[in-house]
Amino acid sequence: MRSPTLLAFLFSLATPSFGSVQLGTRASIPGAWSLLQQGTTGVSGMQLAVVSETKAIIYDKVHHNPLTVNGHVAWAVELDLNTQAVRALNPLSNSWCATGSFLGNGTLVNSGGNPVVITGEYNSTLPFLIDGLKQSLGANGLQGLRLFTPCTDGTCDVYENPTRIRLSSARWYPASVRIEDGSIIIFGGSVSGGFINSAGANNPSYEFFPPKNINGFNGLKIPSKFLTDTLNGNQFPNLVTLPDGTLFVSANQAAMILNWKTNTETRLPGIPNGVRISSPFSAGHVLLPLSPANNYTPEIMICGGSTVSDKVAASSISSQAATSAQCIRMVLNAAGIAAGWKVETMPQGRIMVDMVLLPDGRVMLVNGALTGVAGYGNVGNQVGQSNADNPAFTPVIYDPAAPAGSRFSTSGLVASTIPRLYHSTATLTPNGTVMLAGSNPNNDVTTVKYPTEYRLEFFSPPYMNVARPSYTGLPAIINYNATFNLSVTLPANTINVTVVLMDLGFATHGVHMDQRLVQLVSTLSADKKTLTVKAPPTGPIYPPGPAYLYVVTAAGAPSFGHKTLVGTGASPPVDEAAIAKLVSPFLAGRCLFLPGMVSKTPGPSVQVVPDFLGLAPSSGEGSDVATDVIPAWGSQRSILQVDSASDSDLDSRTQNQRRNRRLS
């Protein structure tokens, strides 16, 4: 659709013209930070998400990790946040450079990926196997959708069923975000791997999961002119759900508002000073805290990036190229957009920086490099295989509520000694620490300079060393506008507290999908023992799904963040016609096929369907897929059945999926 003019868009905004966001009356605890290196991950931490109060999930790519599962190398784990113990998970397809978002019912969806490009086997006695079939190249993940619903008994695993649950098109380096009905949008990326996007590899479109019949596309991908205009450097675009239900999108040197309900793009002021902000020139981005004090007016912040051209040969780029120290903020209302981006300067330039929201409203900038670009194996003077050099070891704290000129600080911060470059991650944890994982600017597991990194680190802010509030009574589900009471225990001399609801997001490549902090309206009783809290007013302000609630003292000390589900807890809407449209090009009658999957006791031979994952089946391979369920869509209904089998006939993996992945 043709975009409306920016002027018309500005006048259509109903949000009052307030200034920059505030988190209410609060401070931050002064003092020194501490850093603890504790635990290893078994797979490198390319993708990271907290899934419960005690667990996180890590996705990697298929390569020669030391951890194994079911006779093959592992590329995903569940991590215990308290003990750092890991449990190998068993996805089918390669999650390399995928994105991730939670559905409204709490299921994590990992979207996209790539074929496996390494060769060889883990060792001579432990080849790469998938359910008994030797597959040196594994399963192509470009259209993969990997579902994980957290559990407490240690039996949950990644669920894949590409016959009905897959992307409509191939996506490498996409972004995703949860929207107001609890479904997710998967946006952009490439149809094949590579250092930088190109017209031939570009996937200038977005789609929904579960699929939607919207704008006339009925479950298939929806075109985006923005993703054509922002070539070449537009992989892993920045995506944010705004309080009016639209999306903020930025990539390369451009930004826009996307109304996904009408497929309308409205351009915003471009990124100033020639800075590029998306992969391989990766900047960090964050939606600053939303507050009822200014009617939840959104403000976006983007830090770092590069001024390197996206049109030159990779071999002409240097690992010593300067990175940008620019940070920019823009209030997304009429006055803020008219004023444009406000520019600030970090203490150092950075690329691949993670921007992590803290419960007190500040932002931690951590990880990344001072020179070069993202990726590996491309620039003319690689360090090992890394396209970047000079790791950024010391974090920076940014206080969005402080006066301009005094918002950045390194006071009290301790430097890490572990390089966290390409394929590293960071996240806030429920107890308030910031966890760092990963780094692997290499094709495979290696010990060269900037090696494959498995060590975990935990940054502890000063608030971890003072008396902190605690509470009980958080409902498992809090619907919009609901009022609930918390029983609180507050540190001595506490005058007042603020309640914040946080989405800890999904982190990969310096991009944090869905990360969010929303201040809630709350009242503390006269005896300071009961806190009456009102849930978020609407889905666009806090999209339905997982949330962690922190009670923060006026001095800046947060409680532990207990988990709840915002909304009804129900699965997002399902459009069967859109699903049928999506799968119809690939299914013929009753035939199903997943590359590399055969049962232990093959059934009658059946026709193999076209290979929608891009891997041609070997001659003579058949399919023996039994009745199963669609776990994220809220009901138990059969997918297309080829040859039914009882649980006793199925391998342990399939039995486990049937037993543990049925959702209500």
With contact defined as beta carbons under 8 Å apart, do 660 and 156 qualify? yes
Q: What is the tens place of the pLDDT at every residue in 32-59?
A: 999 999 999 999 999 999 999 999 999 9
Tokens of 616: 């041609």
How far apart CA 312 and CA 270 sit, in angstroms, is 21
Residue 640, pLDDT score? 21
How far apart CA 321 and CA 369 sit, in angstroms, is 11
Reported as a pLDDT band with limits 50, 70 and 90, residue 399 is very high
First to last CA, the chain: 38
Q: Which residue, among 353, 354, 367, has the nearest Cα to 415 in the 3D structure?
A: 367
Mean per-residue pLDDT for 513-541?
98
For residue 126, give every residue at least 6 positions away whose Cβ sits within 8 Å of its Cβ, in sequence order, or none: 68, 71, 72
| 52 in a structural domain | no
Q: What rounded mean pLDDT belongs to the chain?
A: 85
The pair phi, psi for residue 477, each rounded to 5°, is -135, 135
Total domains present in the chain = 1
Mean per-residue pLDDT for 526-545?
98
Q: What is the tens place of the pLDDT at every residue in 455-498?
A: 999 999 999 999 999 999 999 999 999 999 999 999 999 999 99
How far apart CA 440 and CA 497 sit, in angstroms, is 41
* Helix, strand counts (H, E) of the chain: 5, 44
Reported as a pLDDT band with limits 50, 70 and 90, residue 583 is confident
- pLDDT of 585 higher than 80: no
Reported as a pLDDT band with limits 50, 70 and 90, residue 120 is low
| 445 in a structural domain | no
| 548 in a structural domain | yes
Residue 459, pLDDT score? 99
Tokens of 36: 């603890």
- pLDDT of 525 higher than 50: yes
| 420 in a structural domain | no
Beta bridge partners of 255: 250
| 511 in a structural domain | yes
Q: What is the tens place of the pLDDT at every residue in 410-467?
A: 999 999 999 999 999 999 999 999 999 999 999 999 999 999 999 999 999 999 999 9
With contact defined as beta carbons under 8 Å apart, do 204 and 188 qualify? yes
Three-point CA angle 6, 12, 16, nearest 5°: 110
| 552 in a structural domain | yes
Out of 16-25, 463-472, 597-606, least confident range = 597-606
Tokens of 484: 């609930």
Q: What share of the chain is helix, strand, coil (3-state, %, to 5)?
A: 10, 30, 60
Q: What is the CA radius of gyration of the chain?
A: 24
How far apart CA 193 and CA 290 sit, in angstroms, is 36
Residue located via tokens 């406000």: 342
CATH code at position 544: 2.60.40.10
Mean per-residue pLDDT for 205-225?
96
- pLDDT of 609 higher than 50: no
The pair phi, psi for residue 426, each rounded to 5°, is -155, 150
With contact defined as beta carbons under 8 Å apart, do 383 and 449 qualify? yes
For residue 601, give every residue at least 6 positions away whose Cβ sits within 8 Å of its Cβ, in sequence order, or none: 624, 649
Quote the domain boundaries for residue 535. Answer: 470-566
Residue 601: exposure state from Cβ atoms within 10 A (0-12, 13-18, ≥19): exposed
- 488 against 585, higher pLDDT: 488
pTM of the model: 0.86
Tokens of 255: 């930004």
Q: For the chain, give the percent of residues with pLDDT over 70.
A: 81
With contact defined as beta carbons under 8 Å apart, do 221 and 520 qualify? no
- pLDDT of 210 higher than 50: yes
Residue 582, pLDDT score? 87
Three-point CA angle 547, 551, 555, nearest 5°: 140
Q: What is the tens place of the pLDDT at every residue in 97-109?
A: 999 999 999 999 9
| 496 in a structural domain | yes
| 475 in a structural domain | yes
- pLDDT of 663 higher than 90: no
